[in-house]
Structure 1
Amino acid sequence: MRELELLAAHGRPARSRWRLPNFLWLIARIGTAGYPPRIRRRLAVTNVISSMVSLMTVPYILLYAVYDLQALKIAVLVFSPQIILFAITPYFHRFGSMVGAVYLCMVWLVFGIGYCLFFGRESGLHFYFLPGAAASMLIFGSERLLLSGFVTFLALCGFLTTEVVFVHPAPFIHVDQFFLEILFYLTVPFAFLLIFTTVFFAFKEAAQAEMALEEEYRYSERLLENILPQAVARRLKQGNAAIIADHIDDATILFADIVNFTPRSAGWQPQEVVSFLSHVFGRFDELAARLGLEKIKTIGDAYMAAGGLPEPRPDHRVVVAEMALGILDLCREISRETGQEVTVRIGLDAGPVVAGVIGTSKLLYDVWGDTVNTAARMESHGVGGHIQVPNCLKEALEDRFTFERRGDIAVKGKGIMQLWFLTGKRT
């Protein structure tokens, strides 16, 4: 039951306490469907950069039109298309994971050179080469370091060319010094904003990826500790042993089997069978956890638990006997709650066992030995609604519990054995 709860909980994605605006996430996800998460994060950064540059173009076009449309008409005509050209960058993701990034860099370099050619270095427009160089690593990824370095080199060349060659505005652009100052004080904050937003979004994406990995790790830890005893799970995680196999000098084994369940459930739907067993064995699991015992496994409608392993405890016989009595009480409760009679046969035995982990892909902690076989025979040769134990276990528990003699019974593989029914606690 706990494994099912973990699987259900795992289906819910982890949420951060702080989020970026929803519209930005919607823009970032355009055209990224079908790519693996690592590629999607890079494409998302590309989308954010292209959308921001597209939006930042609008104030420039408005400035040209308001300040002097007649003198700056050519700038309006040349640079207005970049609003669309940057905005359609996500469209190119459908052609490959690198196409959109390459397209963005080409458009950015062409228009960057064009701006500097038109307005010169005093406009400060060449500062846009700086966020572009920083963003190249984010949009190409660390695995394409040469391509990112090449784009950064082109940005450096563009910046230096503006500083050395494009010192003054182009001859066909008639603007005064005040207009160039306006451009400078508009460009510098925008360039800083572009750097900040791009890096912030990239780190936010990386932080969410780390959170997902941490949640996946915690889920794996919880699931492993629910499949295996905690002490065994710790040994596996620490790599202390290639094979987990322990000889336990003294442990108590419990088997419980639902009487006549197979013929009764023959006409049930599969969902009804699983739901019924999950309900019953889930209650057994709660009892075992409360008493500090280990559930070993379920086999069909049979339940196996143990005390005194993997870590020894001196009272394992007493606690397992208490669990056996508790199972009978639980079955009576479940019968009243569901209206279906639930009767179990229970068998116990105590002694040395071997315990260990089987498999490498689907791990199973299991227990072997003559004690396990005897406990299984106590259950299979038992009577519904009773707890059957051999004489040695009765002698160890008779000062704490009451017993009823069943008699000498021929037990398969064991011969004639003196058997007893555990009936309750002594008061």
Structure 2
Amino acid sequence: MQRQLETPLKKSPPEPSENTDLSHRLLVLSALMMAIAAVFWGGLYAYFGEFRAAAIPWGYSVISFIFLLLFRHEHGFVLLRTSQLLLSLLLPFLLMWELGGFINSSAVVIWSLTSPMGALVFANRRVATWWFIAFILLVIIGAAISFGDGTIDNRLPPALIVILFVMNLSGVSIVAFVLLVYFVGQKDQTFNLLAIERQRSEDLICNMLPEAIGERLKREKSPIADRLENVTILFADISGFTNYSMNRTPEEIVTLLDQVFSAFDEMASRYGLEKIKTIGDAYMVCGGLQGDPEKSAANAANFACETIAYLTAICATQYHGLNIRVGMNTGSVVAGVIGHTKFSYDIWGDAVNVAARLQQAAKPGQILLSKNTADLLGDDFTLLPQGETELKGHTPVVTYILGRRARS
């Protein structure tokens, strides 16, 4: 037996994250939009004579444009993010201070909330928490500044102050709503992807394992192992395959096996048999895992006859020189799931060994079965007694050749 060697692969350096690149582009875009909006916001204050207040959003725009030029590349993402979070936190507070408190500034400090929201988008929840705490502290300080002072102490008209209230509250609300919509959309997309992957995993388990075993595997943590009686095991082997493959390309060999075994899969499903595995050019199925041994033996016999007919037909036109040998036996087996990362359902026992040896002893185009299987088939099949047949590595077994399919 060849020993499979596993050579550890040398790890390549990590590639730039697509998420980081996307976050950088979103940060640049949002900083650019905020800087442009601040120009017009400062112009509004300047129009009514509040030049010192206007200098604050204009200063934000200038600083943002400078930082965008300095840190426009990906490696400046952290510096650009930190500068934007700091500016969006402090400048609305300074503007509130300059205009004389909450009411006089139309609650412009609410724009400082974009700092923790931005940290949530461009950093993580832990970082955003600290920025949010800083925002709350600034709000408390602003409350202390404005406490007991309800007079208007700036040049802004009362009507404009009300309009700015609406603009400030609406603007931040829109930003918060857009972010919530984005996060909810991401959450729904993530849940949908998880549901798709879960369904793929369940479909994969159903393809690899019997349905009842797959359900048990999802429920139980303990190893799955059963002793089953009267299970009919069938081995089918393509005779002449070795000589055929010596003069064929890998693509031709795989095409042949895929064509034949795909047809066998369809037949096994139609007859209610459980495919266990393929071993090279050999195909293994069994019936009777869920009881009803007579029906399972008959289905296995019908499956065997159909595989002979199918391979005979395609070999007459495509694959000359090939044939098939089939061995069948019925008995008790141990069945279970092995593996933790790559599951495999298999059966073991003397009954399996006998079925494999019968396949080896069969002649091309022949279905050789044991007396145990023959006794379950009844009178619906033509059985040709062969007496005791010597099996490699096993005591002789009374065998029969299956002569024809069941009557419809």
Report the equivalent of 2:36: 58
What is the CA-CA distance between 1:102 and the residue it aligns to?
3.3
Equivalent position amino acid for 2:33 in 1? L
User: Does 2:262 match 1:274?
Assistant: no
Q: Is the 8 A contact 1:86 1:107 kept in 2?
A: no
Deviations 1:273-302 (A, max 9, x none): 223212211111111112111101111000
Report the equivalent of 1:331: 311
Q: Which moved more, 1:148-157 or 1:316-325?
A: 148-157
2:194 to 210, 213, 219: 213
- Cα distance in structure 2, aligned partners of 1:154 and 1:89: 26
User: Does 2:313 match 1:313?
Assistant: no
Q: Is the 8 A contact 2:232 2:373 kept in 1?
A: no
Q: Which has the higher contact order (CA 8 A, sep 6+)?
A: 1
Alignment of 1:219-368 (within 5 A): 219-239=200-220, 242-309=222-289, 311-314=290-293, 315-335=295-315, 338=318, 340=320, 342-368=322-348
Equivalent position amino acid for 2:292 in 1? R
- Cα distance in structure 2, aligned partners of 1:382 and 1:215: 46
Q: How high is the sequence identity, in percent, across the aligned residues?
A: 26
Alignment of 1:21-420 (within 5 A): 34-35=16-17, 40=19, 48=26, 51-52=29-30, 54-62=32-40, 64-65=42-43, 71=49, 72=51, 74=55, 77-81=58-62, 84=65, 91=72, 94=75, 101-120=81-100, 121=102, 122=104, 123-134=106-117, 136-137=119-120, 139-142=122-125, 144=126, 147-165=127-145, 175-239=156-220, 242-309=222-289, 311-314=290-293, 315-335=295-315, 338=318, 340=320, 342-406=322-386, 408-420=388-400
Aligned residues: 384
Q: Is the 8 A contact 2:89 2:114 kept in 1?
A: no
Q: Is the 8 A contact 1:248 1:354 kept in 2?
A: yes
> How much is the aligned-residue C-alpha RMSD, in angstroms?
3.5
- Cα distance in structure 1, aligned partners of 2:140 and 2:109: 9
Equivalent position amino acid for 1:127 in 2? I
Distance 1:182 1:396, change over 3 A: closer
Report the equivalent of 1:30: none
Distance 1:154 1:417, change over 3 A: closer
Deviations 1:200-220 (A, max 9, x none): 212222332232223222222
What is the CA-CA distance between 1:188 and the residue it aligns to?
1.7
Distance 1:101 1:89, change over 3 A: farther
Q: Is the 8 A contact 1:93 1:100 kept in 2?
A: no
Q: Is the 8 A contact 1:92 1:100 kept in 2?
A: no
Deviations 1:231-290 (A, max 9, x none): 2222222125x2222111111000000011122112333233223212211111111112
Distance 1:369 1:291, change over 3 A: same
- Cα distance in structure 2, aligned partners of 1:219 and 1:370: 36
Q: Is the 8 A contact 1:119 1:168 kept in 2?
A: no
What is the CA-CA distance between 1:82 and the residue it aligns to?
5.8
- Cα distance in structure 2, aligned partners of 1:46 and 1:118: 33
Report which of the two structures shows the higher radius of gyration computed on alpha carbons.
Answer: 2
Unaligned runs of 5+ in 2: 1-14
Q: Is the 8 A contact 1:47 1:89 kept in 2?
A: no
Equivalent position amino acid for 2:171 in 1? F
Equivalent position amino acid for 1:180 in 2? I
Distance 1:312 1:88, change over 3 A: farther
Q: Which moved more, 1:72-81 or 1:243-252?
A: 72-81
Q: Which moved more, 1:198-207 or 1:278-287?
A: 198-207
Q: Is the 8 A contact 2:93 2:108 kept in 1?
A: no
What is the CA-CA distance between 1:194 and the residue it aligns to?
0.6
Distance 1:258 1:88, change over 3 A: farther
Q: Is the 8 A contact 1:133 1:155 kept in 2?
A: yes
Helix, strand or coil for the counterpart of 1:249?
Answer: strand
- Cα distance in structure 2, aligned partners of 1:271 and 1:170: 85
- Length-normalised TM-score, structure 2: 0.80
Equivalent position amino acid for 1:346 in 2? V
- Cα distance in structure 2, aligned partners of 1:162 and 1:227: 65
- Cα distance in structure 2, aligned partners of 1:323 and 1:260: 21
Helix, strand or coil for the counterpart of 2:340?
Answer: coil
Q: Which moved more, 1:350-359 or 1:251-260?
A: 350-359
